Amino acid sequence: MASDAKKSEAIATDPVSAEPSTQVDVSNTSADDEKTGTGSEGETLVKSSHRQLRGLPWFLVICAVFSTMLIYALDNTITADLVPAIANEYGTVSLLPWLSVGFQVGAFVALLPVGKLYAKYNAKWVFIINVVLFLAASAVCGAAPNMTAMIFGRVFLGVSGSAIYCGILFLITVLCEERERGLYISLAGAVWGVGTVLGPVVGGAFERVSWRWGFYINLIIGGASLPICLWLLPAFDPLPSASWKQRADKFDLVGTVLFAAWSICLVMAINFGGVLYPWNSGSTIAFFVVGFVLLVAFAVQQRFSWLTTPQERLYPAQLLRLREADLLALSTICSNMAIFIPIFYIPVYFQFTRGDSAIEAAVRLLPLIAVVSVALVGQGFFMVRLGYAWPWYTIGASLGVAGNVMLYVADLDTSEAYIYGAEVLVGVGLGIFNQAGYTVIYKVIPAAEMGNALPFMMVAQYLGVTFGLSVAGAVFVNDARNRLAQILPTFSDEQLTSLLSGASDTALDLVPNELRGDVILAILDGLRKVFIPAFVGAAVCFLISGVLSKKRLFGENDSGAAVVG
């Protein structure tokens, strides 16, 4: 394994293109650059010396594609402030967890299949089709006559939104100049972070008028972006000479079905255990057992390429043999846990300890999102110019551990300045290396595997976000519910769920005045525990930084930016 890592470092010093589409300008690429292999058929690598678009057209394209990223990120958290209104309209509190779980499941399940679509079909049209599907799903949610339709819309928002996110990273890597790709990838991460924080703010603002406009707003923003994408977004076809049948013939359908099945089972098991079903119930146990069996089946099918080929299998498992790639993936998983848990649960802290509304609590997160956005962009600009990756991981993880430990020890009387200080540490620390793996991995894998780097890292990122938040949510809800059940023995399970989720505006009013202090302390004790996986994740990143390659990965004249198709 060590020899593989050394070999990959030597091979991947100059990632290059093979058989570029005529729609992308590679005229100034060196002869050596043009004839490097690819990880699989259709995963064309492009090293573009010059962008096709410049000036105002390029600015409009970037604004358009990042606008679609923004509405996807908004929808990730917008229901946080819409839950009371939705629950009051439909009266189905027991189904409320599906609003977030359905979105998460849809996003994760779609990740690898849509990555293959971008590698086989014209990226411009795959992207545009998924934007249209996202807008259609938004319309379904906005006009939903019942909770079933709402859940259906949320699932497809996750599916199409995941395809949008994957498409933006794909388009950045094939359309941007090499020296600027790392910067644009970091900008994409910053836009995602801003949208995630603004979700509850936007949702709360529209809830005062009509919660349905929290979804209809996507139609306005996305509708304004579509014409720009249609007219100005350059096309990129990784297989210009292949027929539609040839592109579809080798698709790993079995792997796609198995991947979707185990993902759905395990996400549902973690999110619904102790909430909709007791942990020891037959339903919860069945979800876990079936999920793990399907996960093993997926791993075996991918390992032996059953009904597919090693080049076309859904997950690029061959990268797991490379030590540096494994370290980058594990760091990406842990860093996303360490940053998204605070993003989701700091507002909850302020809601229960300060009585903030969802909008007020979300605004208190602005220090974190401001510094993480600056840190992301700074890392994207400076890391490739300074040449080394490991110091960013070491320093950033240290700050991330400190910030999350501060949040873990916070109590009811902790000052706001203390929380804001913890936010800054988390934001700066995790921000300076959270997206770095997307740039570094192209320097530590063989050139023949460049086309597999993007899906490999995206799976790691989504695992960190999806399962990190699922575990944190399970820890919070189950710990707090057990405590509340002892304090409020007359409360039904549905009332306890409403109390924790904010699904009912009057839930806390039902608590006797003499017990409210105990209730808030019980909730706070459960809330503090969600930061344990956050600081553990940051600590793992710190340990990983100690064994990452200490070599200079980017030369003085090397942009070091990602090159992948």
Place of tokens 């027929």: 243
Give the separation between CA 9 and CA 45, rounded to whole angstroms.
18
**At residue 359, does pLDDT exceed 90?**
no
Residues across the chain: 565
- Tell which residue, 144, 170, 151, has the closest CA to residue 69: 170
Highest mean pLDDT among 79-93, 150-164, 204-218: 150-164
**At residue 451, does pLDDT exceed 50?**
yes
Q: What mean pLDDT comes out for the span 417-427?
A: 96
Are 444 and 392 in contact by the 8 Å Cβ rule? The answer is no
pLDDT of residue 555: 66
Least reliable range by pLDDT among 461-465, 510-514, 537-541: 510-514
Q: Is 338 exposed, middle or buried (0-12, 13-18, 19+ CB in 10 A)?
A: buried
Give the separation between CA 166 and CA 564, rounded to whole angstroms.
12
pLDDT digit string (tens) for 107-132? 989 989 998 899 889 999 999 999 99
CA of 419: how far to CAs of 233, 338, 346, 367, in Å? 42, 16, 8, 10
The two three-digit tokens of residue 331, written as one number: 């760091």
The two three-digit tokens of residue 155, written as one number: 């699932």
Give the separation between CA 277 and CA 258, rounded to whole angstroms.
24
Give the separation between CA 440 and CA 33, rounded to whole angstroms.
19
Least reliable range by pLDDT among 219-228, 319-328, 488-497: 488-497
The two three-digit tokens of residue 137, written as one number: 């799903």
**At residue 417, does pLDDT exceed 80?**
yes
pLDDT of residue 501: 66
pLDDT digit string (tens) for 35-61? 333 344 334 444 444 667 788 999 999
Provide the 3-class DSSP secondary structure of residue 356.
Answer: coil
What confidence category does residue 19 fall into, taking pLDDT thresholds of 50, 70 and 90?
very low
What spatial distance separates the first Cα and last Cα of the chain, rounded to whole Å? Answer: 26
**At residue 500, does pLDDT exceed 80?**
no
pLDDT digit string (tens) for 236-265? 888 888 888 778 777 899 999 999 999 999
DSSP symbols for 365-389: THHHHHHHHHHHHHHHHHHHHH--S
The two three-digit tokens of residue 320, written as one number: 């797991």
The two three-digit tokens of residue 108, written as one number: 């994760």
